Amino acid sequence: MLHQHVMEFFDNIEYQTGPFQNSFFGPDFIDIVNRHPRIVKKPLKDIYNVLSRLNQPSRSALIQQIKDSNKVKEICEGSIQPVRLDRNVSGTKKIFRDFFIKLYNQVLDGDAFREKYNTTLRNHFNDFRQKNEETTICPTCGIGELKMKEAKTRDQYDHYLPKALYPFSSVNFENLVLSCKECNSTDVKGDNDTIAVSTGRFFYPFDSNHSKLIFEYSIDTDNIDCRKIEWTISITSPDAKVDEIQSWRDIYDIDDRYKGFVAGRIEKWYRWYWEYINDSDFAHLSEADIKLTCLKALKLDEKLELSFIRKPALDGFLKDSVLSRAQIEAKYYSD
């Protein structure tokens, strides 16, 4: 609603040339505006005064830039380039930037909005998690765990287009994606320029037709210490979204994170596999049937969205590793 209110304000002032009026704000927005005279009303009045001095084509073009910067799907497809306003901008651009950033930081979850609409970001998080309760791992990386609505704290809202660089979409929920803490950290994405890092095309976060990615792990250099194995990761999709996959890998440092994730767990995973296929309870089954049952269990983990890395990593480990497997198996015999 806040995003809608602000966009309606710009619609209302596009062709206005007279004095600034409260009627430029919608009837629901005015209550919030009056509660935030310095954060909302003053900067919008300053913005209006600047726009009213421009000729009509220039004014309409600037407002269209704001609207285009909120067409997240088209931006992800590479057909629209949003306006970039970093912390070094000055003058009118700084007024725009500061206003939109404060909308998120101070207004979206502030008292005025909470009281007007009887909701909070926590309420939104709870509703979202309830409707997507089967999603338990971070939809951005697939490694981190998502919090459930019963948790004391909520997950972060990641600005897919960082608000520090693309502030026009700061309160647009098409640009707000729940993610794990690591994905949104300064060590991974943070305020890095999503567009500059990408190929120019990247996944639209709310694509309901998104095809499942296909992962294959292979070993470049085996090592007796499985933590020192050198891995290669292949990621493809049925709809051949090569650019989108590469952007995702670059934006979220996927390759290094996945390799580190596997390196720290592959021995434990292989121990689980070894104990599974050598379990005395399965002695009546053939080796092939035991392995099939084991792989079925791993596929069930994927289906339940508990893990989608373990199976392809184990597949690669079983196929390519000799040294590490021998070292792990030797420990069982020595014990």
Range(s) of the domain holding residue 171 = 70-84+120-205
Distant-in-sequence, close-in-space partners of 128: CB < 8 Å, separation ≥ 6: 178
**pTM across the whole model:** 0.88
What pLDDT sits at residue 178?
85
Residue-wise pLDDT tens digits, 5-31: 999 999 999 999 899 999 999 999 999
| CA 315/CA 220 separation, integer angstroms | 14
195 in the same domain as 76:
yes
**170, 205, 240: which is the final residue of a domain?**
205
Length of the chain: 335
292 in the same domain as 241:
yes
**187, 205, 223: which is the final residue of a domain?**
205
232 in the same domain as 329:
yes
The half-sphere exposure of 331 on its side-chain side, counting CA atoms within 13 A, is 13
Q: What is the mean pLDDT of residues 127-140?
A: 87
187 in the same domain as 227:
no
The token pair at 333 is 């015999």
230 in the same domain as 329:
yes
Count: domains in the chain:
2
% of the chain surpassing 70 pLDDT:
99
Q: What is the mean pLDDT of residues 133-138?
A: 84
